[in-house]
Amino acid sequence: MGTYVLVHGASSDSTYWYRVTPLLQALGHEVITPDLPVADPTAGLAEYTDAIVDAVGDRPGVILVAHSMAAYSAPLACERIAVDLLVLVAAMTPRPGETAGDWWEATGQVEAQREQDLREGRDPDAPFDPLVTFLHDVPPEDLEEVLAQSVPVQSDRPFSDPWPASAWPPVPTRFLLCRDDRLFPADFQRRIVPERLGITPDEMGGGHLPAFSRPAELVEWLERYRSTVVGAAR
């Protein structure tokens, strides 16, 4: 069995994985879900990376899963811990020296989201509504439980740190986009991921928060990666 390290994105904490963790544990895996210091106004990418590294310790050959903005810190952790596989889920794709604050305009995300909103009949200038942008695909019977999860206030600090890596880490990497993602539209990711990572993303159903809306499907993908990438290398 393996060790999964699941890293949440911005404005979130480890409870994001509360539906995924028991599914992986039921398969016999160890699951580690570090909390990044998102509410700490002094914590930047270095501290985010430290949180991942400290949680992993000296465990060998982990499968490191990074959701959304965690793609800014998880690759940095790969330089300090033993990682067999890096999986990016509905993630950002930084370039060396690029801040997370600059990424949106640099990649064309702003235009891509606006175009998709217009195409699908949403007002792109409407006030932000998490039910519209993030939770639109959570099954109604699960929505109340999901809404009960805590949402920490995200500090602006890590968005100003230039990504310090000179290149992506030399570990096997897979990218999983979500076809109904309203924040990072599928067509946008289909363009950006090959440009920035040199790989073709895989695709699953659901919106930007698949651990809430489609945990079983997400676990199926993670297990497929584990067996085909990690298993084949051993």
Domain ranges of the chain: 3-233
List the one residue out of 157, 141, 125, 110 whose CA is nearest residue 212.
141
List the one residue out of 151, 143, 168, 5 whose CA is nearest residue 76.
168
What is the structure's pLDDT at 149?
Answer: 84
- What is the Cα Rg of the chain in Å? 17
What is the structure's pLDDT at 230?
Answer: 78
Q: Which fold has domain 3-233?
A: Rossmann fold (3.40.50)
Which DSSP letter does residue 171 get? S
What is the structure's pLDDT at 234?
Answer: 60
Q: Along the chain (234 residues), what's the average pLDDT of each consecutive run of 10 residues?
A: 95 96 97 97 98 97 97 97 97 98 97 98 96 96 90 94 96 98 98 98 98 98 93 64
Task: Catalogue the long-range contacts made by 218-222 (C-beta closer than 8 Å, 24 or more residues apart).
Answer: 218/20, 218/89, 218/176, 219/20, 219/23, 219/24, 219/27, 221/176, 222/4, 222/24, 222/63, 222/65, 222/87
- Cβ 147 vs Cβ 171: under 8 Å: no
